Amino acid sequence: MKKNILVLCTGNSCRSQIAHGYLKYFATDKADVYSAGIETHGVNPKAIATMKEDGIDISGHTSNLISEYEDLPFDFVITVCDNAKENCPYFPSTAKKFHHNFPDPAKAVGTESEINEEFKFVREQIKMYCRQFVDENLSSLS
């Protein structure tokens, strides 16, 4: 049976969007993946570009508020930043909750090249986390 996964971040612009892309990729048909924020900042163009470099297109993603999904029954809720974990409004759910605080690549400073490297660094961390999450939580589903 297909699972519903919600990925939460502060602005639903970088980390949660990247995780959304990888979870969808690794879970294939085992899960429907959603991402949201406690605010919306729009999908960061550098997040789109860094994912495209790895062959995953998130250019069609939108930045959504968590309140848009309060009626969906989630099996898993993953927070990808401490701010979202601490400030996420409560909504009734029997979902299993997971948390991993990834650095925010949108806050990277330096040259264009240094900022791009930070996006790639965070992307690789999120990619490893998502692969492991799917292996541990969805691999037994047919």
The residues that are catalytic are 9, 81, 88
CA 94 to CA 110: how far, in whole Å?
Answer: 42
CA 8 to CA 141: how far, in whole Å?
Answer: 23
Q: How many alpha carbons lie under 13 Å from residue 77 in its C-beta half-sphere?
A: 23
